[in-house]
Structure 1
Amino acid sequence: MSDEIEVVDPTTVEPAEPVAGLVERTLVRVDDRRLIELRVDDESSWFRRGGAVYGWVRAGRGGVACSADERPTELTAGDFLRISAEAPRKYAAENGPLELLAVVDGDAAATAVDPPVGVVGDAAADVVGPDGLVPTVESPDLVRKTPFPDDDVLLMRVRAAGGAAAGWHHHGDNVYFGYAVDGPSETEYGPAGERVARIEIGECFHVPPKLVHRDTNPTDETHTGIIWLCGEEPWVVNVDGPA
């Protein structure tokens, strides 16, 4: 098991176009889960994925449709998005690029499909705005809120006040991905807490399972991150120290 925090600058990752109109970067891959960056400049073709998608709209405005005969669900910067496994979908941008970050749970490949008529079962998109979040797991000096509290991927917005140093903790066996909305932030870890992973604005990261760490804000301003914990409770295990 790795004992290092992985930090990735998305601009260093080569993009791909798995289906027409969809530009995608795989930022971090852990087993059968991926943190991906998506961009649509106009509109994408219809496609599907084998795994559920948990996303956050980083920039832009547009919509996502899961049926050719239904009105698209609106998306705007700051919204949180969940699309069930196997659901067909099509993204459209409005007046500029639509950009999302998302974790795909399971088969992540985008596969083109014909335009669907009607939605079968729970194949649909759920969108929650930033004002619709609810409090979730607590750690000292961090405010965590989530749009989807009952899923096996806990997608969260995390805020740390200026100068905050959260308590030492780990996330059990969960796969942990993150993104720095506004930063920088620093995460301390290591046998004596002597290592520091610095995450700049716009960078993403992965913290290995059971790695004891604490998140700090080295500035005087409140900073925000988007976090995905993939697995099951306990989501957070607070401990006395790095040892």
Structure 2
Amino acid sequence: MTDSVIPGIGMGTFRLQGNDAREAVKSALSLGYRHIDTAQMYGNESEVGDGITSSGIPRRQIFLTTKIWYDQLEKNDLINSLHESLERLKTDHVDLTLIHWPSPDDQVPMAEYLGALRDAQREGLTKHIGVSNFTCAQMDEAVSLLGEGVILTNQVEVHPFLANNKVVEHARKLGITVTGYMPLALGRVMEDETLIKIAETRNLTAAQVALAWAASRGVVVIPSSTRARHQKANLEALDVELSPEEIARIDRLDRNERIANPDFAPDWD
């Protein structure tokens, strides 16, 4: 299990809009989630902020993450966009700010945008800083620029069909927690025979098995769901301990099936 300062499971809000986003966040917090993940690009920071403020849960108890989009990476743009995010989120700081994607073709030097992110941290706009969709080489460059222990996490796609072993292992060596997005592969885990069979023998769901597998690797998971019963089941998945044999069976499902692969993505490991 992860020993990071980031709670081991978060409520992901990718693709949630309007009142769905607002109510999903409020529901998740009422069930016991204390980690909420959003991004500028999701177009729902305002609704996520509404969900948090209407939940009755004190802001200091919630670990809130947002991400800077790649068109805001120049120094002044980054700081200004983070101020705008905070305004939408109705808070004076976030707990974690990530660079959502490395600058396409290095149009903005990493030293510039990571330096700006560090400045935002020093100004108190964000408690922690991190990256997302960074390759092993990019993580190395980030650590060489900022020093060890500064980058809290690299948020990358992780699910049974894309184990992303190289990045997960390299991050561990660098002392960087991996946060796995799309841990249910946009619902595809629910259709996999191996996961279904393991779930049936344990009276679990295939989604719970997939989440437990990721957690067993020390990966923080941020599944997205609008339904309270699914949110609750996902939360309970962190209490599931899979056997080494079950983990090995799930490991064999890895087929490098990447879902998030836009044309501006880096050259993946």
- Superposition TM-score tier, normalisation by shorter sequence: 0.3 to 0.5
Identify the structure with the greater strand proportion: 1
Identify the structure with the greater helix proportion: 2
Question: Could you state the TM-score of these two structures normalised by the residue count of structure 2?
Answer: 0.32
